[in-house]
């Protein structure tokens, strides 16, 4: 009986993780375990595996992945975001261009503050392709507003503590810790 209960709990945990990752909106599946560190020796595996544990998210620290085209930045971004979602963090993926377009539309439709607040509520914002296309002044200003909102998120809206399968906090809440972003 206990073995059957264990199998059911494992199955529920697998389905929960899959649901959380699907909600993020990644364009493709990428995992840290599948990253080819040999193809890019400038990426330290120990650092990436430390980042995958998520302590920087709890502390509200940003991470910026910088490198030439084809070096695995998007793979690492999606892999770190996947690890965070599976750990119970609220994660959102978006390209910089898509976010700026959404913000411009929000401004035109008079609901910019709601759009910005929506991005302020996630524990981790995975912003891909930042710098790939040049932003105009208005787009850059709107993007800055999202970063400001995330940095200044009040403690009452901030949940930088992942939840376990039972719904209880897995570690103490960090108070007014700002939100994390990967760009």
Q: Among residues 175, 138, 136, which one has the least CA distance to residue 155?
A: 175
The domains located in the chain, with CATH, are: 2-182 (3.40.50.300)
Report the pLDDT value the prediction gives residue 160, as an integer from 0 to 100.
37
Mean pLDDT for 143-172 is: 56
Dist CA 3 CA 132 (whole Å): 51
pTM equals 0.80
pLDDT in tens, 62-82: 999 998 888 999 999 999 999
Q: Rounded CA gap, 170 and 84, in Å?
A: 13
d(CA 35, CA 119): 28
Band (pLDDT 50/70/90 cuts) for residue 164 is very low
157 band by pLDDT with thresholds 50, 70 and 90:
very low
């Amino acid at each position: 009986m206990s073995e059957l209960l264990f199998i059911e709990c494992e199955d529920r945990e697998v389905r929960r993780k899959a649901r959380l990752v699907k909600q993020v909106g990644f364009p493709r599946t990428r995992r840290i375990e599948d990253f080819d560190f040999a193809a890019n020796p400038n990426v330290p595996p120990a650092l990436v595996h430390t980042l995958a544990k998520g302590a920087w998210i709890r502390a509200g620290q940003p991470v910026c992945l910088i490198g030439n085209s084809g070096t695995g930045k998007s793979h690492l971004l999606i892999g770190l975001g996947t690890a965070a979602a599976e750990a119970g963090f609220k994660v959102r993926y978006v390209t910089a261009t898509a976010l700026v377009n959404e913000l411009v539309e929000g401004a035109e439709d008079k609901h910019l503050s709601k759009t910005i607040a929506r991005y302020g509520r996630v524990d981790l914002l995975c912003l891909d392709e930042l710098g790939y296309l040049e932003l105009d002044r208005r787009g850059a200003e709107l993007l800055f507003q999202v970063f400001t909102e995330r940095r200044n998120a009040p403690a009452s809206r901030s949940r930088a503590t992942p939840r376990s399968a039972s719904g209880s906090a897995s570690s103490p809440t960090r108070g007014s810790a700002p939100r994390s972003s990967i760009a």
